[in-house]
Structure 1
Amino acid sequence: MEVLGGWDAHNVTEDADLGVRLARHGYRTELIRTVTEEEANGRAWPWVKQRSRWLKGYAITYGVHMRHPRKLWQDLGAWRFFGVQLLFLGTLSQFVLAPVLWTFWLLPFGFSHPLSDMVAPWAFWALGGLFITSEIVGFAAATVGVRKAGKGWLIKWALTLQFYFPLAALAAYKGLYELATKPFYWDKTAHGVLLPTGWQATPPPQQPPHQASGG
């Protein structure tokens, strides 16, 4: 940690910052093929708060490491430098710009669009086809994912992913607001709220024989 420059105590998404720091010093990170037992956030507003912190941390990480773009290029090389741009800018923009993309759904329902006079009709229909295709691909990916995880009963819930991006967009704008007003505020996630179906408390261990009270 000291070689990497220490821990950035002001970043609210520490894993993003540490990943870039490791890469700048020649290290690499990989995924561990395991399943976490950490409780997922199952309530809407706490979920938004958690995602807003993550996205705010992404923005902070990008701003910190892009203060000197040439130095970042030298540390990472061209390929990984562009990877940083794609990861951080792509993650942030897909949520911040999502409402702009949603306006194109006005066209299939017969409403006009502000860009109707500037974009050819075929381009709008191409975008509509792309949107529908992306929805199908997203649902298919979720279906394959739960099947491979041995949780086929979750397939029906894949349809609720339609609510993911509206909530994530809300989280992104909340994060941008906090980036300007309280960038280092850590919106803590409440754990231990939900328990999986069928969960049972682990019984306390029995008292060892040598500690049992005798007569």
Structure 2
Amino acid sequence: MSGIELPTNQPTTLARDAEALRPAETETATFGMGCFWGPDALFGAKEGIVRTRVGYAGGTAPDPTYHDLGDHTEVVQLEYDPDTWTYAELLDVVWANHDWTGSQKRQYRGVILTHDDTQQEVAERSRAALAGRTGQSVATTVELLDQFYPAEDYHQKYELRTLPVVADELEDLYGDVFTASTVAARLNGFAAGYGSEEQQHDLLATLDLPPTVLDEVRRRL
């Protein structure tokens, strides 16, 4: 997904994204952690996570959809700042935030989908360390990503969409690049209860959104 090409003299809500790292400056990670709405919000609230999107991967069926998933799994895909996060640190978040001990139906299974040999090696080492540390079998698998299929628009930034006053305003601002917005990722995380009070305050103080929109976000916090 391409970055947001917006001039930095735009109103501050848009400028926050215009100043974000471009895809070429980030690294990408893909994880299956159960229903993808929660992980999307969890990671979206974290500094250094530049963009998030949810989709389907890990299977062989062509062109999966939510109602015709085939053998794919719900996953979250992240673009992250490698100066803020290592891949191993992202894996620590993954292990701490899904049930890696049990076997789930394929749609919601735990899976780490690696993008290259380096991620594969780090993920396998992390998985083995978890098993050794806990003495438990790790059901979450490590597999090489073949293809990522973006989920339907109504799944993207789902928690934020439960605040339609906010989501509608942002979609009007961003149009087709709403899903790729760092601001939308943060607000999606805040809507789900993630992020510190200081982080929430600092972001909201810089956004030139209508008072009704900001009040709706604060109501959820």
TM bracket (short chain): under 0.3
Higher strand share: 2
- Higher Cα Rg: structure 1 or 2? 1
Higher helix share: 1
Which one has more relative contact order, counting CA pairs under 8 Å at least 6 apart? 1
Please report the TM-score for the alignment, with normalisation by the length of structure 1: 0.26
Please report the TM-score for the alignment, with normalisation by the length of structure 2: 0.26
